[in-house]
Structures are given as C-alpha cells and as structure tokens.
Structure 1
Amino acid sequence: MNEVSPAIPVSGEERHASWLELFFDLVAVAGVAQIAHLLHGEPGAGDLGLYVLLFLAFWTAWICFTLYGNVAGERTHTRTVLAAMFGMAVMAAAVPGVHAGEDGQARALALAYVVVRSLASGTWRHRREILVDWPAAQMSLGVIPWIVSLWAEEPARYWLWALGIALDLYVTFTVSARDIIESRRAHDRREETRSRRREAVLPVSVAAPDADHLSERLGLFVIIVLGEGVAQVIEAASEAPWNRRLYGLAAAAFFLLVALWSLSFRHGYAGVPYLTARSLPARAALPLHCFVSGCLAALAAGLGAAAEHLETLPDSTRWLLCASLAGYFLLTGVAAPRQLVGARRRLLLSVVLPCAAVPLLIAGFGAGLGTVAVVWLLVAVTLWPTFYESRRTGHREPDARPGT
C-alpha cells in the first residue's frame, strides 16, 4: 500500500514570481482583454452569461498552472508551461469567434481548454503529489463535458461548458483529501495489476503551496484586471471627441480604479479586500479571488463602454457598472475577518451593505443621470470604506506592498 507523506517546505529566501511566471501572466492580459470585450456596446443577458462562463474557464486554466508553478518552484517544466501558454492564447484568440457564433472557433476554444487541463492534471501525476487545496487541478471530471462539446452545436455546447465548470466547483468543495488519496491509491493498484509489477510504487506526497508566493501571483492577476480598466478607457477615449465630458469621465474612471486598487491591496490580501493571510482555507479563498476578479473585469468593460456614451448610459451599461461594483463589495463580506464578531458586524453594516446597496439604487433609479455623474457617484461609494476606516482608527494606512 502506498504511503502518503506531507511535503516539507524548504526554508530559504522569500520567493517571488519568476520570469517564466510573469511571461505566463501576460497570457492573462490577453485573455482578460478579449473576454472583457464581450461586454462592449449594450450587452444583453446572453453576452453576460457567455462572459461569466468564459471568464471562469480562463481563470480555472490559469490557476491550475499557477498552483503547479507555486509548488514545483525551480523544478517547473518550462516546456509544459509554455505549451499551456499556447493553449490559453488559442482560447483568448477564439473568444470573438465564439461570441459571433462561429463553430470553428468554439471547437478550437474547447479543444485548447481540454489540452490545458490535461497538461495540468498530468503534471501532478508525474510529480506523485496531491494538491488537496485545489483538487480540480488534478482531477478531470470537469473536463469531460468540454470533450463532449466538441461534437455539440450551439447552444448545447454552452450548457456543456457550464456543466464542466459546475463539476469543477463541486469537486473543489466536496472532495476531501482522503477521497483524493484513496482515489490515487486505487489507481496505482490498478496499474500494478495491469502491468504485473511487483516493485513498490513511489510514495505519494501532499503538496503544500507557498502561501506568500501564491498571494503575489493572485495579486498580480488583480493588477492585470485593474490595468485592463485603464486600457479600456484609453482605447475608447482615443476614438471619442475630447471635450469636457470626456475629461470628467477620464478623471472619474482613474479615481475609481485607484480607489479599487487601494481597497484590494492596502486593505486586503492577494487582491481581495478585507481578506487576511490564512483567514480562509484555499478552497474558499481561491474562488473568492476568481469572483472578485470577474467583477473587476466586468467593471473595466463598463468603463470602456461609458467612454462611448458620454451623455447618458444605456440601461444595460449602467447596470453592468453598478452591479459589478455591488458584487465586488458583497464578496468583501465573505472575506471579512471572523475573529472579532463585533468588528465583522460593524464592517458589514457600515461598509459592505451600504456600498453594495447604493450602486444598485443608482442602477435602478439613475436613468436620468449623466454618464459622468454616474461614474463619480461610484467613486464616492468606493472611497467610503477608506474614509470610514480613517475616521474610526484615526491614523493613516501604510503604503501598499505587493502580495500583502
């Protein structure tokens, strides 16, 4: 019977993202930009659903290899990561075609996703390690519907993709470490019987991620998303007439993104507001990071669309902007510290709920407001947590540091 031994982290100097990892994150820039463009113009429910589906798929592929590089460290196989980069680049390039209903691009995206996920699960089998914090990275249950979708037509393929993402979430939240270990042992016994080997199989170890390094990688992803907000406004502004409305919107968008940066890093951890190191298990913290990033990317798309409608916002764009910010703040309630019940209740009542409710009120009753006024109101909402905290504590916050 195989022995399971915990992986012992090697002491040494603090790790930072390698050049290979930073190169890999550049694919995230392309992917987030392509997916955010799904919400340009006046997005409908179908556009929003496709955005959510593709963002979850892209983030899942990215986190699988982020965790692999985190655990493997200097033993990361460069060719495997580069192959995954190519697959994710294909996924990003296929997004516009998927949005346009092109079967060829949709099948290319699904095939690239299957290849990337297969590469990820293969790395863990070869390393003889079990990643209990994110079992979906090494289990292929969620990939099966994507394989079936290669022969499906629209809209059935989209439902299959959604099923695959749902299965990954199911595995993440329900499969225990014991289940994974027993599954690996059963697989090894079958292999021994099939090959009639008598020699002992190498022991399986439990992978222990480097929390500080992972926090830095997660924070870099959020920085990429916020940077996409800047890029969206710049792209739209370069094609719009430069007048007082554009100046006002550009300033408001800049202050909004800066305020979100401050909340995510000066008042948060790994890019998630009010999250602290090790306050949540990785199985909860990683999906939280995904959903927060998704809200920020949708907000970035909304800012780009706002620059195209400088007088008044279409209802769908106003709802996109406001609902994205409301979702961002609602998710901070999940990350709020649980050690002090009174402090958490105060944070929820004084910060989270007002900052989530006011954008929804603007979305529902702000049809008569100008575009610039709407964005400045969102700036005021986003600045409220910092103002509240400074009034309550009476001291200035420390400067932001990457990965904290």
Structure 2
Amino acid sequence: MNTEARRRWLNPMRARAADEPHRVATPLELLFDLCFVVAVAQAALPLHHAISEDHVRDGVTHYLMVFFAIWWAWMNFTWFASAYDTDDNLYRITTLVQIAGALVLAAGVKPAFEDSDYAAITLGYVVMRLALVAQWLRAARNDPPRRVVALRYAAGITIVQVLWLAHLALPASWSTPVFVVLVVCELLVPAIAERAPGGPTTYHPHHIAERYGLFTIIVLGESVAAATVAVRAGLDEGEHRAELISVAVAGVIIVFALWWLYFDRSAHDLLTSLRASLVWGYGHYVIFAATAAIGAGLGVVVDHETHHSHVSRTVAGYAVAVPVALFLVAVWFLHVRPMQTGPHVVACPIVAALVLLAPLVPAPVPVIAGLVVVLVALTTVNAHGRQSFVNVD
C-alpha cells in the first residue's frame, strides 16, 4: 500500500472545531437520514393498522419502543459526526455498517408489532451501536484531550448493548419494565461521558440544528405521504370523496403549519451548554415520534371514513389530535419558551389543549388544521412585532 492509499485508510480522526465556518450536512449524513426514514415509515405503518383495528394500547406501546431504537441510534451518530466526521474510508465504512443495522431494524418492525418479537430489532440496534463504539475507540486513539470522554462512551455503549442482548432471554412479562430501565441506561451514557475530563465533545451548534431540522422535514414528509393516500382514496371512493379530500387537504395544511412553527426561529442559539444541549436533543424524541405518528393518524381517519376501521370517529380523531398536541407542546418547551417572553408565549400550549378537544366535534381533522393555522398567524404577527422592535432600536 503506497503512502497516499495508507493516508486515506488511516487518516487520524481529529476533533472538528465547534465554530468551524460553513459547516453543513454531508452527502453521507443525508444518506444516513434517508435510510433511517425507511425504519420510521415501517414503524408508522403498523401503528396505523393497530389503531384502526382497535389495538390502541399495544400499538402505541410497540411504536414508542421501536421508535426509541430508531431515534437513539440516529441521534448518537448525529452528535458524534458533528464532532468527528473525517469522511475518510474507515469513517464511511463504519457509517455504512450503521445504516445496514438500521435496515435490519426496519425489517424487524413487523414481528415486533405482531408477535412482540424484538430479536431482529435488537440485532439491528446492537449492530448500529457497536459500529459507533468502533468510531469512539478511533476517536479515543486520535484525540488525546478527549480520550477519557471517548472511552467512557465506548464502555458505556458496549455495556448497555450486552444488556440489550440479555434482555431477549427474559420472560415476555418483564419486557416493558426492563426496556424502560435500559432506556434510562442509554440516556445516562452521554450525560456521564460528556462530563469527563476534556469534555464535552466539540459538536457544532449550527450543524446540529441543521441535522435535526433536516430529519424533521423528512419525517414530516411521511405525513404528506399519508395525506396523498387520502387524496387517492378520495378519488377512488365516490361515496366518501368529499370527506376524504377534506381530510387530505386538512392533513397537508397541518403538516405545513407544523413545519412553519418548528422553523420559526433558528435553534442553534439554544445549544449554549451541555445541559441545554441534552434537554434539546433528548426532547426531540417527542417531536420526531409525534411527527411520524401524525401520518399514521391520518391513515386511521381515512380508514374510518371508508368504514375500514373498528374505532369510533372520536378515537380516529384522537389518532391525529394527540400527536399534533404533543408536537406543539414539545416545540413550545424546546424552542418557544427558552427564547420568548410575554403573554403570547402561552399560545402554543393553549392551542394544544384546544386540539385535544377537536375530536369531540364533527370533522376533527379540519378543525385541527384551522387551530394550527391560527397559531401560525399569531406566531407570524409576533415575529413581525419583534422585527419592528429591532428596526426601531
């Protein structure tokens, strides 16, 4: 192997600067997101069917568990890449292994929902996580100032993966409580590792905000796809065409409004400390899971309108209302509350509460769409007021 080839294979993994100019998502990161959205879609589809068949509790439980595996693996790679993306051959190969793990996880979603069989999901998850361990060990070797941080990550992740594999041998009745314990263990790893001598890692606030924003857009696309299905069903179903097209239009409006609310302000200014970054990063579990669930909820409403579901109109309405309300509360808590003051700050939680009342009236999805449009209007007026105040100063 010549010197150039050796350099490409063994390029040291240096920490990237937290204030590096013009830092943007790479093509590899975009591929990573795209493949993970396949897993998100696989999780949302059985949630839709479970609610339509009136297996709400089991469907929601499985969905939240599966979505945690998807989100946590995506999040850990995203923050690691923000600090250590060298884009050399070893880095690319290790990242592609993580993507392969995500595809294995996606293939295991159906058995998890139908038979509570988490073997394939756990295998795919462990593959993703152990590939990241290899990345952290490489970072430990090449970044001496943060060696302890990297080794803590590698050790913590490895220990928890062993526990995940052991979890498969436990009785089914232990599955949920042990899952909760292991989730807590996963969440503690970054909190402990980043506080090691030399920490925290040099994540890039603008890059992180962009990565989260891109994933939010992609997951919102899943809900747009659900609205498209409603349009197609409306065109095919002469008897229920008006109702289905109304649901489709309202669904698209909801998605557009949620996009507007999420991107009303840049979030990078919020990532000012380790604590703030952890709260912001962890809180996005609610945003991502709720966003994907909105698409599933629209599917449930379509099933109800075409008499293909076993749930009432109210339950079908709540399949959309609950994730929309959770999205609004999460965006308020993570984006609005830390950056704004004044009476208008309570608009988001108030609208979220009204959204939860919408399923009690006829045509709940159009009502929800109207409520979020009003919230967007209030947000826009407030933003104009802030801008005018700045210009006067």
TM-score (norm 1): 0.77
What residue identity is the alignment partner of 1:319? Y
What residue identity is the alignment partner of 2:260? S
Match for residue 212 of structure 2 among 195, 209, 218:
218
Change (3 A) 1:45 1:16: same
- How many angstroms does 1:121 deviate by? 2.3
Q: In structure 2, how many angstroms separate the alpha carbons of the residues matched to 1:19 and 1:391?
A: 37
| 1:143 maps to 2:157 | no
Match for residue 119 of structure 2 among 96, 107, 115:
107
Say whether the 8 Å CA contact 1:145–1:160 is kept in structure 2: no
Partner of 1:344: 341
Partner of 1:189: none
Q: In structure 1, how many angstroms separate the alpha carbons of the residues matched to 2:86 and 2:189?
A: 29
- How many angstroms does 1:375 deviate by? 0.9
Change (3 A) 1:155 1:318: farther
Say whether the 8 Å CA contact 1:145–1:163 is kept in structure 2: no
What residue identity is the alignment partner of 1:31? A
| 1:47 maps to 2:59 | yes
Change (3 A) 1:84 1:225: same
Change (3 A) 1:123 1:332: same
Match for residue 26 of structure 1 among 26, 34, 43:
34
Change (3 A) 1:136 1:225: farther
- How many angstroms does 1:143 deviate by? 2.8
| 1:374 maps to 2:364 | yes
Aligned 1:2-401 pairs, distance under 5 A: 9=17, 13-41=21-49, 42=51, 43-75=55-87, 77-101=91-115, 103=117, 106-128=118-140, 129=146, 139-140=156-157, 141-173=159-191, 175=192, 177-178=194-195, 180-181=196-197, 206-239=200-233, 240-241=236-237, 243-267=241-265, 269=267, 276=270, 278=272, 281-310=276-305, 314-336=313-335, 343-349=340-346, 351-363=347-359, 365-366=360-361, 369=362, 373-392=363-382, 394=384
Listed one character per residue, the Cα deviations across residues 141-191 of structure 1 (whole Å, up to 9, x for unaligned) are: 543431112323434334433321122224455x3744x34xxxxxxxxxx
Partner of 2:3: none
Listed one character per residue, the Cα deviations across residues 337-378 of structure 1 (whole Å, up to 9, x for unaligned) are: 5677xx5352343x1221121022224x33xx1xxx211111
Listed one character per residue, the Cα deviations across residues 174-233 of structure 1 (whole Å, up to 9, x for unaligned) are: x3744x34xxxxxxxxxxxxxxxxxxxxxx775201111121111111011100001122
Aligned length in residues: 353
Q: In structure 1, how many angstroms separate the alpha carbons of the residues matched to 2:383 and 2:79?
A: 37
Q: In structure 1, how many angstroms separate the alpha carbons of the residues matched to 2:189 and 2:353?
A: 33
What residue identity is the alignment partner of 1:241? E
Partner of 2:6: none
Higher mean C-alpha displacement, 54-63 vs 137-146: 137-146
Say whether the 8 Å CA contact 1:142–1:165 is kept in structure 2: no
Say whether the 8 Å CA contact 2:16–2:84 is kept in structure 1: no
Change (3 A) 1:98 1:210: same
Q: In structure 2, how many angstroms separate the alpha carbons of the residues matched to 1:281 and 1:326?
A: 23
- Give secondary structure in 2 for the equivalent of 1:281: helix
Say whether the 8 Å CA contact 1:260–1:382 is kept in structure 2: yes
- How many angstroms does 1:307 deviate by? 1.9
Uncovered stretches (5+) of structure 2, i.e. residues with no partner: 1-13, 141-145, 388-393
Q: In structure 1, how many angstroms separate the alpha carbons of the residues matched to 2:296 and 2:242?
A: 22
% identical equivalent positions: 25
- Give secondary structure in 2 for the equivalent of 1:100: helix
Q: In structure 2, how many angstroms separate the alpha carbons of the residues matched to 1:385 and 1:238?
A: 29
Change (3 A) 1:228 1:213: same
Change (3 A) 1:166 1:19: same
Say whether the 8 Å CA contact 2:15–2:83 is kept in structure 1: no
- Give secondary structure in 2 for the equivalent of 1:266: coil
- How many angstroms does 1:268 deviate by? 5.3
- How many angstroms does 1:36 deviate by? 0.7
Change (3 A) 1:339 1:248: closer
Change (3 A) 1:389 1:12: closer
Uncovered stretches (5+) of structure 1, i.e. residues with no partner: 1-5, 182-203, 398-404
Say whether the 8 Å CA contact 2:18–2:205 is kept in structure 1: no
Q: In structure 1, how many angstroms separate the alpha carbons of the residues matched to 2:194 and 2:379?
A: 39
- How many angstroms does 1:283 deviate by? 0.6
Say whether the 8 Å CA contact 2:230–2:245 is kept in structure 1: no
- How many angstroms does 1:396 deviate by? 10
- How many angstroms does 1:98 deviate by? 1.1
Task: Please identify which structure carries the higher helix content.
Answer: 2
Q: In structure 1, how many angstroms separate the alpha carbons of the residues matched to 2:327 and 2:101?
A: 29
Say whether the 8 Å CA contact 2:355–2:368 is kept in structure 1: yes
- How many angstroms does 1:73 deviate by? 2.3
